Amino acid sequence: MISLQQLETLQQRLSILENEKRVSACMNKYMHLCDDLAPGFELKNLLDLFTEDAIWEGKGQRYAKTFGRYEGKDAIQAMFAKYATLPGHFNLNVHLLGNEVITVDGDKGTGSWLLMQPSDFVDGRSQLSCAKITATFKLTEQTCQISHFVTENKFSRPMAKPWDNSAALPVPE
């Protein structure tokens, strides 16, 4: 027979695991939406992932200068809106996350990831970037939202050719 104390311990552990999964899902949804930033992109779904007083910032010499810091949902919306207007910015943009580490304490989650981002731009340039992402999340029964998002460049490299190529894919005969 399981004791009441054991049952409460299991419920706490399950709650932590479920909240860790919610944090992971929130970050993955954020990255998926960022893959699709283009003219006409509906920003609402992306902005719903942030708390009203959220902070979004680039960290380190390169990303602090390139991206800056935005405080509050309105400022974050204005930053993302630049990517959703004509003529557009990306022809291809893929966010690949790995090395996930998430902790949850009560109604707060924290996470870190490594991001690889191959991009082709509308002006013909291409880039491969790697960044460390760290974020804090506010958890309620209904939501998991980003309260502080930080991206810090590890490396960036211009590429001589676009990532996407229209050549047929090789397959066995």
The CATH number for 49's domain is 3.10.450.50
Please give the pLDDT value at position 151: 98
For residues 115-126, give the mean pLDDT. Answer: 96
Closest to 164 (Cα-Cα) out of 119, 103, 128: 119
How many structural domains compose the chain? Answer: 1
Q: Tell me the per-residue pLDDT of 132-169, one tens digit each, with 9 for 90 and over.
A: 999 999 999 999 999 999 999 999 999 999 998 888 98
pLDDT, position 34: 97
146 belongs to a structural domain: yes
Q: Is residue 7 part of a domain?
A: no
pLDDT at site 171: 92
Q: Is 170 part of any domain?
A: no
Q: What is the pTM of this model?
A: 0.93
Query: Which pLDDT does position 53 carry in this prediction?
Result: 98
Mean pLDDT in residue range 39-61: 96
Q: How far is 137 from 132, CA to CA, in rounded Å?
A: 16
Any idea what DSSP says for residue 17? H
Q: In this predicted structure, what is the pLDDT of residue 165?
A: 86
Domain ranges, residue 75: 14-159
Specify if 140 maps to a domain.
yes
Whether residue 5 is contained in a domain is answered as no
Domain presence at residue 1: no
pLDDT single digits (tens) 69-113? 999 999 999 999 999 999 999 999 999 999 999 999 999 999 999
